[in-house]
Structure 1
Amino acid sequence: MTRFRNVGLFLVLAALWGSAFVAIRAGLEYFPPVLFAALRYDVAGVLMLAYAVATVDRWRPRDRGELLLVAVGATLLIAAYHAFLFVGQQHATAAAAAIVVSLSPVLTTGFARALLPADALSPVGVAGLLVGLAGVAVIARPDPSNLLATDSVAILLVFCAAVAFALGSVLTRTLEASLPIETLEAWSMLGGAALLHVVSIALGEPLEPSAWIHPEAVGALAYLALGASAIGFLLYFDLLERLGAVEINMVSYVAPVFTAITGWLYLGEVIDAATVVGFALIAVGFVLVKRRALSRELRHGWRRLSSD
């Protein structure tokens, strides 16, 4: 029964995070991109902080190391990731954005190996990283005669979002500080929201509150803040403890399926062949990079099934 529960929650998480890309694309019709991301984490950060206060003993950072940990999370995992993603999604389909972001686990492994030279990627791992990058190139389809074409730049920005998230994930694990994950997420969200507001002001994004009260705008913001962020991260914490990092990473490869379905139903977006090929290449890259961990998980799962 526990296994079915985990599978069910996994699919719910994939649906929430996959459809979030559609909500972003819908909300961008009413909000400037960076301000939209900031408002999302204004709400989500307050909710997550309330949850941390209610559930963990250490609901705030206490020393310089923990503050540095929060600063990295706020800067890379929240502010940089979402600024690039939301700006890029103005001209990228929801499905293409979700697929490019699914490269994050591959990039995370690459950064981890780069920062720890004693644990360098094997030739097969390097090949996996290159295959994943090739998948991004297939989706972007850059025109050599016009490398600054809007669609190509949009995919490049989403790729930069994946890079920021991967680097932030590695740095938060290498810093010698520990915080409950709920506390880290809460303060990272609030700090990231503050940084996003600063960037929004610096970019001179327009403030048009009259557009924000449109039902679709309110729905998109509420879905991102409550569904994809607050509920999504709570499910992620629960599944991370139950499944482990390798299995939970697979949500990155299920989420684009939900993105494609909801994008087609709600936005009328059609998935072309290049996007499908790009997704396949990124998935193959993930398997090559994570082949040992996946093999261990498969053996462990087979032993559990055999013992039942």
Structure 2
Amino acid sequence: MRTATIGAGPRPGHLLVPALLACYLVWGSTYLAIRLALESFPPFFQMGTRFLAAGGLLLAWSAGRGGAWPTAAQWRNAAIVGTLMLGLGMGLTATAEQSVGSGLVAAFIAVVPVLVCLWGLLVGQRPRRLELAGMAVGLAGVLLLLRGASFGGSPAAIGCMAAATLAWSLGSVLSATRLPLAPGAAGFASEMLCGGAALMLVSLVLGEQPQWPPQTHAALAWLYLVGAGSLVAFSAYLYLLGHAPPALATSYAFVNPVIALLLGVGFAGENVSGAEWAACAVILGGVMLILRGKVEAKSA
């Protein structure tokens, strides 16, 4: 779930296609990995340990390459943004996956670009007509999705996903406007460390108890989330921000839900009705309109 649009204009790089595939396939597959890891690791504990491990490794790598250490103000910003995007966003997403299929959760998350536009209104960002149209279409798709059997039978999952997407999108807007993080990998690492700490605090308050020893597939899924989901995909995303147009770098928001749905249905036996597939298509259509509107705004 990333929505930042920071980056330079297009500068072709030889790693452009591999980076895109990493963001599309790896991030799209993390929703299924979260579901598998839940069989041994409770939601907040799972996400907290994941981001603490990945953040620590990424910060060590950044420091080893001579990267600047985040300032006190940047750590403060990371604490706020990390709590919103990871503490609430990812923690509640994992919680929702306890009762709703991973593919449909990913489809719900596709509405984040719509919410980013709405939050942007509060900080003076005026969307273009295509973006407004995309917001309307995306929200209509979410309403259709909520009428389906999966979410309709789980009010708790609806509440978790509504709060998760609102928190993630607000954190995205704040990090790009009012609460900038440290540049590069150090910024991502500080966000993961702060968000991981917030997640572990919630896990402690809730009294979550992981299964020990964990099931083999759950442990492998957790390792995949740390290595591929956090380190590889984040590095690929950083590369895209510097070598691709912002709309292309953020196009994962359109592709990830499709990957997650296909993996959930094909490998986890998740059931998705025809009406739910149609709702997902409506949401993704709204995202496409928003991305096109951002391209036009950039060109203008």
* TM-score range normalised by the length of the shorter chain: 0.7 to 0.9
The equivalent position to 1:39 in structure 2, one of 32, 43, 49, is 49
TM-score by length of 1: 0.85
Cα pair 1:73 1:184 within 8 Å, conserved: no
Corresponding residue of 1:159: 162
Match of 1:132 among 126, 135, 138: 138
Conserved 8 A contact 2:129-2:293:
no
Q: 1:261 to 1:286 in 2, by over 3 A?
A: closer
Letter in 2 for 1:95: G
Deviation by residue 1:227-256 (Cα, 9 ceiling, x = unmatched): 111111000100111113221211111112
Paired with 1:151 and 1:176, the residues of 2 have a C-alpha distance of 35
Contact 2:58 2:231 in 1 (8 A): yes
Deviating above 4 A after TM superposition, structure 1's stretches of 4 or more consecutive aligned residues are: 2-5
- TM-score w.r.t. structure 2 length? 0.87
Structure 1: gaps spanning 5 or more residues: 301-308
**Alignment partner of 1:28 is 2:34:** no
Aligned counterparts of 2:293 and 2:219: Cα–Cα separation in 1: 44
Please state how far the C-alpha of 1:86 moved relative to its aligned partner: 0.6
Change (3 A) 1:62 1:122: closer
1:161-215 C-alpha deviation (Å, 9 max, x unpaired) = 22211110110111265521311111111111111111011112224323x2x21
Which one of the candidate residues 55, 78, 83 is aligned to 2:86? 78
Q: Which amino acid aligns with 1:134?
A: A
Structure 1 residues 56, 168: CA separation in 2 closer, same or farther (over 3 Å shift)?
farther
Aligned to 2:5: none
Q: Write out per-residue CA displacement over residues 132-187 of structure 1, whole angstroms, 9 at most, x where no aligned residue.
A: 112112112179xxxx9652431341232222111101101112655213111111
Point out where structure 2 has 5 or more consecutive residues left out of the alignment.
1-11
- Report the CA distance shift for 1:131/1:42 in structure 2 as closer, same or farther (over 3 A): same
Task: Tell whether the 8 Å contact from 1:140 to 1:151 is kept in structure 2 after alignment.
Answer: no
CA distance in 1, matches of 2:205, 2:292: 44
Aligned to 2:206: 203
Identity between Structure 1 and Structure 2 (%) = 28
Q: Helix, strand or coil for the counterpart of 2:85?
A: helix
CA positional deviation for 1:56:
4.4
Q: Which residue of 1 aligns with 2:290?
A: 289
> Offset at 1:87?
0.5
- CA apart distance, 1:295: 4.0
- Structure 2 CA distance for partners of 1:275 and 1:207, relative to 1, 3 Å: same
Structure 2 Cα separation of the partners of residues 261 and 149 of structure 1:
21
Aligned to 1:141: 147
1:305 is aligned to none
Residue 255 of structure 2 corresponds to: 254
Tell whether 2:174 aligns with 1:171. yes
CA distance in 2, matches of 1:57, 1:158: 35
Number of the residue aligned with 2:267:
266
Partners of 1:5 and 1:110 in 2: how far apart? 33
Contact 2:58-2:189 at 8 Å conserved across structures:
yes
Give the whole-Å Cα distance in 1 for the aligned partners of 2:208 and 2:121. Answer: 38
**Whole-angstrom distance in 2 between the partners of 1:123 and 1:29:** 44
Give the residue type in structure 1 aligned to 2:70.
P
